[in-house]
Chain A
């Protein structure tokens, strides 16, 4: 019932319609990639190297003669899986840390928050770059690294929510009834922390997609020949003087998807916290 209400309210926010269309199309393209891609995204055709946009290659071909459009379509899979998977890990880890730190307090809280402070003091991209360089550029490693980099934010938001919730009457009442801490945390605290986390999740997916693109651009992302949007930009940059058109499409796609996730997050914030409507 509440979910239906939230969805209805969301669709009334104009920008979220744009976000829904862009994100819906991206997910559809990622799922249907094998049927939508006009060419093999991995097979090299050196004779078509740096082919300009034409009827055969709508967005041109890269240095190895691979179709840019097909690589763009398959690249959606990598970006979405890393974005959503990484943020999923950040939410799982961050909520566990935030809820236990806020609930137990004392030394445990101090220790966890200092670790979170330490983690968030590292510049995100450089930390991710070093961790991926150490663990290797597999999809799973990158998802975990993106999750680790995003964890402190979720932990902080959850902890601050728990600190205010633990003094509320319903929590005091549940405690008085003798509920165990695990039950209080799982049944009463976590569900009440979800709203700001959901808003943050949408914004974090956008940041995770940019992070993955940045890693691929710097040469430590998912290993070639797997097509990624950031990797495509890296290759396009190497041939920017001969084939500048190759730089356009991956950048536009990253921009639109990140923009859509940002709009979606903003719209969610408006719906879940009407006080802020129109001020951001």
Chain B
């Protein structure tokens, strides 16, 4: 197993290099020229060519593209991510501050999805074709098809505009200093982000359990006269949860990368919203580094999912 995991980790390196090349190329394709942006224009709208050439030289933009890429990558690895061309602020601390919130939101939504999805999927499979199964399946399908930003809006209309119970959005609470306010501010975003995951897990749990129910060892357990509760919890659940746990761990990466819409609807200080704002302002250094951080986050959580999967199922040997 260790050999497989080391190989899997090493396999991430070429993908990481490709991703870094991708985000680097993305910014190079942009119609906007950072040197031109920094040089500014005089009253007649012209740019001072000497100043422009100097800035270009200082930024290393007069070097061949591959040299620029190498220099950029070396700086990124050492944590020298540069300053935003627009605000002049260091990019690294800004991104880390927002990443902290995004991970917090993804975690709460993940836990919410697990707590809702697995029990409902189990009930649905055990009571197959009953009204509960139909209701749960309808909820699961709706959770996948519903546009999350719309769900967020509707919740704001009901709970903030009409009832006034919860805030419109924004986030300035700390879980430890003001837990009540933290819950109030996190409730709707967590529900919106977690519903999709809950829906996926419901479907997976139901499908996995129904598949296991057809296995001969379940028939044997029932023929032995075991109580149905024991058949489900001791025999069926253990074997059906493997794909569910794998998907749940893979989905954590999707949640980290997918917080953007929820953060925008609820005006939350997360990395997704930060990137969207930077795209709209054309602050491309922030876009570049934000995308890189989120993508690496997704890759690392997928790697963690692989580790969990390999650990949980001793039958799996990849080498």
Contact = CB atoms under 8 A, between A and B. Distances in A.
Interface of A: 114-115, 117-119, 121-127, 129-131, 133-134, 206, 210, 213-214, 217-220, 230, 233, 236-237, 240-241, 244, 247-248, 250-251, 254-255, 258-259, 262-263, 278-280
A259 B265 contact: no
Interface in B261-319: 261, 264-265, 272, 275-276, 279-280, 282, 287, 291, 294-295, 298-299, 302
Interface string B175-218: 00000000000000000000000000001001100110000000
B157 A247 contact: yes
Q: Which of A118, A241, A263 gathers the greatest number of chain B CB atoms within 10 Å?
A: A118
B93 interface: no
Nearest to A210: B147
Contacts of A220: 279-280
Interface in B8-23: 14-15, 18-19, 22
A70 to B, nearest CB: 20
A125 B261 contact: yes
Interface stretch (B43-51, B52-60, B111-119, B148-156): B148-156
Given A218-B260, A218-B276, A259-B141, 15 more contacts: A114-B15, A121-B295, A123-B258, A130-B287, A130-B291, A133-B287, A210-B147, A214-B147, A240-B157, A244-B157, A251-B147, A255-B146, A259-B145, A280-B206, A280-B207
A122 B258 CA distance: 10
B34 interface: no
B88 interface: no
Given A122-B22, A134-B31, A251 B154 contact: yes
B279 A280 contact: no
B77 to A, nearest CB: 18
Contacts of A114: 14-15, 18
Contact of B145 (A121, A123, A248, A262): A262
A247 to B, nearest CB: 5
B260 A123 contact: yes
A61 to B, nearest CB: 18
17 contacts: A114-B14, A118-B15, A118-B18, A122-B257, A123-B257, A129-B276, A130-B26, A130-B275, A130-B279, A130-B291, A237-B153, A240-B153, A250-B150, A254-B147, A255-B145, A255-B150, A280-B203
Contacts of B299: 121
B1 interface: no
B66 interface: no
Interface of A is mostly: helix
B163 interface: no
Contacts of A250: 150
Contacts of A133: 279-280, 282, 287
B291 A122 contact: yes
B261 A279 contact: no
B154 A125 contact: no
B30 interface: yes
Contacts of A233: 147, 149-150, 153
A124 B258 CA distance: 8
A134 B31 CA distance: 7
B161 interface: yes
B136 to A, nearest CB: 13
B142 interface: yes
B280 A126 contact: no
A119 B291 CA distance: 12
B260 A125 contact: yes
B216 to A, nearest CB: 17
B66 to A, nearest CB: 18
A247 B258 CA distance: 22
B135 interface: no
Nearest to A263: B141
Nearest to B26: A130
B86 to A, nearest CB: 15
A126 B257 contact: yes
Contacts of B150: 233, 247, 250-251, 254-255
A123 B154 contact: no
B27 to A, nearest CB: 9
B210 A126 contact: no
B209 to A, nearest CB: 9
Contact of A127 (B14, B141, B291): B291
A114 B156 CA distance: 42
Given A114-B18, A127-B291, A134 B157 contact: no
A138 to B, nearest CB: 14
Contacts of B26: 130-131, 134
A250 B146 CA distance: 12
Contacts of B156: 240
A107 to B, nearest CB: 12
- Closest 3 pairs between A and B when the two form their complex, measured CB to CB: A123-B257, A251-B150, A118-B18
B242 to A, nearest CB: 16
Contacts of A219: 280
A217 B207 CA distance: 34
